[in-house]
A and B are shown apart, each in its own frame.
Chain A
Amino acid sequence: MFENITVPSDKIHQFIKDKYEEGFNYLLDITAIDYTEYVEAQEEEFAVVYVLRHENFKQHVVIKTYLSKLIIESVSYLFKGANWLEREVYDQYGIIFKNHPNLRRILNHKEFVGHPLRKAYPITKGQLLHEVDDLIDEMNNRLLSKEVVCKLDDGHFSECNKDIMFLNLGPSHPASHGTIRTYVALDGETIECAVSEIGYLHRGFEKSCENHSYNQIVPYTDRLNYCSAISNNIAFVKTVEDMLGITLSERAQALRVMLLELSRIEDHVVCLAAVLVDMGGLTNYWYMYNPREDIYDLLSKLTGARLTNSYMRVGGMTNDLYEGFEADLKEVIKKVQYGVEQTLSLIKHNRIFHDRTQNVGVISKEDALSYAMTGPNLRATGVPFDMRKDTPYYGYEKYEFDVVVGSVGDVYDRVMVRFGEIDESIKIIEQVMQNLPEGEVSVKDASVTLPTKEAVYTTIEGAMNQFKLTFEGVKVPVGEHYGSIEATNGELGFYIVSDGSGTPYKVKVKAPSFTAMSAYPEMIEGFQLADAILTLGSLNIIAGEMDR
C-alpha cells in the first residue's frame, strides 16, 4: 500500500514531521528530479522526493515538493540516515539543505564542478581529480563534537589527555573492498572517532540510465550488487512492470522467487567467506567459496554468464529453464549445505570466533531504524522487517519460511542471521521446485517482449516489431513510481520517472548498502581497530550498489 502526495515547499518540513509522528519514521530515500526537459510542464524545474515507510513496514508514502528556490530544510535531525541522503542530493543536483551538519559532496570528488544529474550536465564530461580529499576538517568537527579534542583560543587543537594517532583505512585496503575509505583517530588500538568517505566506485549508473532503453539498463543493474546480479535485475524490471501494469505468469513468478533465493545464497556465502577470512579463518573461505563456484556453473548454464547474468527482461526473462536444471540445482544445494555445515562445525563452538564477534560493532534497534538499515543487518538487531513477509510479491505468502532475527545487533548476529537465511532460502527453493507451474516465462505482448525469431524472419510484422522494440525500447506510460523488493542486502528500490518514451527520464536506486554504510563510522567508534574490519565485513557493503 502506498500513496503519492505533493506538498507545497513551505509546508514540506511540517508535513514530514507530522508523518513522522504518524509512524512514518523509516526514511527510505531522498532524491530530486530535474524537470527542465520533461514532456509535461511542471510547477517548477526542480522537485525533491522523500520516500518514507511506516513503522508497521506495510505502507510507504512518496512525498514530493516543487522548489522555486533550490533550498530546503534538512531533516537530518529526525532521521540519522538523512545526513548522507541529503548530501547525495546536494552533490548530484545542487540543492541546498538548510541546517545540514555537513553539507559536502559525497559521490563526486572535491574538485568536481557542477552537478552531474542535472539535465544540463553532459553525460560524458569527465573531470580529473588531482589530489585526494584529506578529510581533516570533517575529522576535526567529529573530534570536537565527541570532545576528544578541545579548540584553543588561538585556533589550534589540543588533545584532552589522549595520544591520538590518525590512520587511513582504505580505500586500497584488502578489507575495504578497494573502494571504502575510513579515516580513524586512534588512541592506542581504540577508535575514538571515525569518518568515512565513499564514492570511489561511483560509476554514474543513474545518469547512464537516462540514455539507455529499459532493457539496456538490465546489464547495468547486474553491476549494482555484483555478488547477486539476478536480484538486481528482478528489482528493476519488477518496478518497470508495475508501471506498465503487467502481471507475470505463475511460472515466471515462481522462477523469479527461486532465482531470488538462489542469489541470496550466492551473496551470503561470499559475504560469510570474506568476513571469516577477515577474522583469520582462511579455511572457511574454501568451504564457503567452492559452493559459489558451483552456483556459477549452474547460472552460466542457465544464463550464459557466471557473475553478470542479465537474465531478466521487462515482461519476463530471456529463456526458460534448460532440461536437467532441477537435478543440477539439487546438486548445487547439496554442496551449499555441505559448505555451510563444515563452516559451522569450525566456528559454532569456536571460542576465538565468539570472542571476536560477540558484542562487537553493535548497533541498537533504534539507531538501525533511524539510519534506515535494512535486510539482514536490520534483522540482526531484532527487527523482523522482511518485505517477503510484510509486503509479499510473486506469491511469497504461499511459501513456508521463517524470518531470521538476531537480538544484539553485533557482528555475531549479522553473521548468524546470514547462515540462517541460507537455510530458509533453501527451504523456499525446494518448495518452488516441488510445485513449479507450467506455462510461458514471458508475457505475450508485442509492445513489451520481442517476437519469436521465426516471426522476425518470416513476417513483416514480426520484423517491424523486433526493430521498434530494439531501437525505441519498451514504452512506459508517463508517471513516477517507487518499487522495491527484498534483495539480498535488504530493500532494494528503484524510483523511476517516465516521460512516456522507451528511455527512463530518471532512475534513482534506493541502495541498502548506502544506508548501512552511513551508520558504519558510528558503529566502530569505541571499538578496536581490528573490530572495524569485522564490522565492515559483516555489514556486507557492496560498493557497486552503494556508490552506483
Chain B
Amino acid sequence: MELNNPALPLETAIATKLDEAIGWARESSLWPMIFGTACCAIEFMSVAASKYDISRFGAEVVRFSPRQADLLIVAGTVTYKQGPILKQIYDQMSEPKWVVSMGACACSGGFYDNYTTMQGIDTIIPVDLYVGGCPPRPEALLDALLSLQKDLRTNKYNSERHKDFKGALDNV
C-alpha cells in the first residue's frame, strides 16, 4: 500500500485493510516517554537536540507522563531499587505501546554485573527493541526508531504479542 504516494489523483478511493491504515497512521506519530536514568539519557538529549533531531521522524513529542505516551524508551541503568517504578510506569501506559531498551545496561545490565543492577529490564517488562552500545550513538537510537516504524507500517506487532510475558515483579 502506498498511501503517501503523491502521484495518486485527488479523489481516489483506496481499498486497504484497516490494520494497515492504522499502522500507517501510527508510524509517524509516536509519542515517546523517556525513562532516562544515566549516561544514555545524555545521549538521548543529543537525539532530541538539533544535530540529530528526532522530530525529523515524527517522534519528538516527548512525554514525561506515561499515560500520554505509547513508546517507552528506557535509557540507562535500571537498578533493583528502580524496578518497581519502571514496572509501574509501563503498566500506566495504555495500549498499544512499544518498549525500546537503549544501551547495554538496560538490555543486559552491561558491565555492571553486581548486587544492585538489574540484569536487563526484560526481567520485569517485555521489550520490543534492543539498542546496543554503551552508550549507543544517537544514530543507533534513530535506527531503532526507523525500524520500529517500518514494523508498524507492516503490522509486525500484534497486541497479543506479550500476552504470556511474566516478569519478576508480576504477581504469581
Residue ranges of A at the interface with B (Cβ–Cβ < 8 Å):
107-109, 116, 121-132, 171-174, 177-179, 199-204, 207-208, 219-220, 223, 226-227, 270, 285-286, 289-290, 293, 296, 306-308, 543-544
Contact = CB atoms under 8 A, between A and B. Distances in A.
B115 A293 contact: no
A308 B114 contact: no
A45 B83 CA distance: 34
B97 interface: no
A126 B117 contact: yes
Contacts of A179: 37-38, 82
Interface in B91-119: 105, 111-119
B133 to A, nearest CB: 10
A544 B168 CA distance: 25
A270 B134 CA distance: 19
Contact of B85 (A171, A223, A270): A171
Contacts of B80: 109, 126-129
B36 A219 contact: no
Nearest to A219: B111
A201 B76 CA distance: 9
B163 interface: no
Interface stretch (B2-10, B16-24, B39-47, B141-149): B39-47
6 contacts: A125-B115, A127-B80, A128-B80, A201-B76, A220-B111, A544-B39
B50 interface: yes
A200 B37 contact: yes
Size class of the contact patch on chain B: 35 or more
A178 B41 contact: yes
A129 to B, nearest CB: 5
Interface string B63-83: 010000000000011011111
Specify the main secondary structure of chain A where it touches its partner: loop
B46 A172 contact: no
A285 B49 contact: yes
B41 A202 contact: no
A79 B49 CA distance: 42
B84 A132 contact: yes
Nearest to A223: B39
Given A126-B117, A207-B114, A308-B134, A200 B81 contact: yes
A178 B116 contact: no
Contact of B46 (A109, A116, A121, A293): A293
B77 A203 contact: yes
Contacts of A173: 64
Given A220-B111, A226-B42, 6 more contacts: A108-B81, A108-B116, A199-B79, A286-B49, A289-B49, A289-B50
